[in-house]
Amino acid sequence: MIREARVSVNRRSTRYLESGSGWPVVLLHAFPLNADIWRPQLERVPPGWRMIAPDLRGFGPAEASTAGQRVRTLDDFADDTDALLERLGIAEGVIGGLSMGGYVAFALFRRSPERFTGMVLADTRSEADSTEGQDARRKMIEMVNLSGPRAVADQLLPKLLGPTSHETRPEVAATVRRMIESAPADAMADAVQAMLTRPDSTPDLERISCPALVLVGAEDGITPLADAEAMARRLSRSRLVVLPAAGHLSSLETPDAFSRALEDFLISSM
């Protein structure tokens, strides 16, 4: 059963989802979504594990605006996650994220490496943005400010899901659209700006000595297989799993296969 709770983190009410009990597994969500993307994984938490999925600042239900507490860099998200773990009395655990959630996991690793007993890097990459990527982000900030979340959904949805999902899983597209359209415009713009300025995390890969699960949808066109392979090669204890018929949002597109891979990793590597 999934529990939904709120605690005050860095003077801000933060929602997190939780299920199971035992060793912690912390899952950080993608842009511009919220903790709900992890519901399929929380619904089948393996015995002996406690899954925790927080909303990153500005995202999630009832977050009308980040006014006054705007995110400037991904370190702000990492700082919130660190403070949440402190608040929950969690010193260490398996920590990871999908896409932007993976970028935040890298930022958290840089500030608190001792918290990681395992790492999950799903549909993400270690490199910083290219110059073209940064230009595209600046255009997206303009679009969010001018036209709002619906325009972002129109632009992002075709890329976020793989062709198989577009053809056969209309309910996933509808869920993702709903989440994007409910995200506040200022939180979106801040997160895009934070991703635009994120540092290259590639040098960190060699310092990550805990077991690491690298997951990627075979149809991921945003952070494709080559990015996952490059990370897996540099990590000393990595397992690479490619999820067939999944795009960039693999945890939602093929939730059973994602959960199975996560469960196998948790049971065999820990």
Examine residue 222 and tell whether it contacts ligand MLT (CB under 6 A).
yes
CA 27 to chain centre: 7
Binding mask 58-97 for ligand MLT (x = CB under 6 A): ----------------------------------------
Among positions 17, 26, 27, 30, the unique one binding ligand MLT when judged by CB under 6 A: 30
The answer to whether 100 contacts ligand MLT (rule: CB under 6 A) is yes
Tell me which of 31, 38, 49, 265 binds ligand MLT, using CB under 6 A: 31
Q: Contact, 126 vs 106, CB < 8 A?
A: yes
Closest by CA to 105, choosing from 124, 127, 84, is 124
Least distance from ligand MLT to the Cβ atom of residue 191, Å? 8
Phi, psi of 96 (to 5 degrees): -170, -175
Q: Which is nearer to ligand MLT, 210 or 252 (CB)?
A: 252
Question: Which H or E run includes 256?
Answer: helix 255-269
Q: CA dist 113 to 116, 127, 128, 247, Å? A: 6, 19, 20, 30
Residue whose tokens read 């927080």: 54
Residue type, 114: E
Can you tell me the distance from the alpha carbon of 175 to that of 115, in angstroms, rounded to the nearest whole number?
A: 32
187 lies in the site for ligand MLT, by CB under 6 A: no
Q: Does 251 interact with ligand MLT (rule: CB under 6 A)?
A: no
Task: Using the minimum distance from each CB to ligand MLT, give the nearer residue, 31 or 49.
Answer: 31
Per-residue tokens: 39: 């519901």
188 binds ligand MLT (CB under 6 A): no
Q: Which of 14, 34, 41, 99 contacts ligand MLT by CB under 6 A?
A: 99
CA distances from 246 to 31, 134, 181 (A): 17, 26, 22
Per rule CB under 6 A, is residue 27 in the interface with ligand MLT? no
Is 104 a residue that touches ligand MLT (CB under 6 A)? Answer: no
Q: Which is nearer to ligand MLT, 90 or 222 (CB)?
A: 222
Q: What residue ranges bind ligand MLT (CB under 6 A)? A: 30-31, 99-100, 195, 222, 248
